[in-house]
Amino acid sequence: MYIETSRPRLEGEKARLLSPVFSIAPKNPYGPTNTAYCFSFFYHMYGQHIGVLNVYLRLKGQTTIENPLWSSSGNKGQRWNEAHVNIYPITSFQLIFEGIRGPGIEGDIAIDDVSIAEGECAKQDLTTKNSVDGAVGILVHIWLFPVIVLISILSPRR
């Protein structure tokens, strides 16, 4: 997926991509689970007018509260980078990608190969942006195209 910056898009406009809701079953009947998940994805941010790529975590029951997980802005070069983030949801959750258009047309933002694995990210994944090892656990891919996706441009058009 990528955010297009050509006209008629304007600086500051946002495109959002929402994952399906992931259910978490409690591991014991006396309280919520403390399961960790390794959330990872590749991103490409190239051009002199790159805006911002944000990722938020929305917990069940918190439709208006989006907890920031990860953010990057500016030109990252003509290459794909990898991000790994440990998340510790206490209830069902949703992940939200948000791309914000920069000041001009030279700079698209793209994401690919989004995945969630049960268990924490491997230590080398958290410190190395270009690692290809991934986390140990049951891998659940979020295929962004065939799943129910909501992309909306939030800024008003002129």
Give 88-97 pLDDT, tens digit per residue.
Answer: 998 889 999 9
126 or 154, which is more confident: 126
Determine the pLDDT at residue 29: 64
Average pLDDT, integer, range 2-15:
88
Determine the pLDDT at residue 133: 32
48-70 pLDDT per residue, tens: 999 999 999 999 876 678 999 99
Determine the pLDDT at residue 111: 97
96-111 pLDDT per residue, tens: 999 999 999 998 899 9
CB atoms within 10 A of CB 1: 15
Whole-prediction pTM value?
Answer: 0.74
Q: Cα–Cα distance between 106 and 49 in angstroms, integer?
A: 5
Cα R_g (the chain), whole angstroms: 16
Percent of the chain with pLDDT strictly greater than 70 = 71
Position 138 pLDDT exceeds 90: no
Omega of the bond leading into 29 within 30 degrees of 0 (cis): no
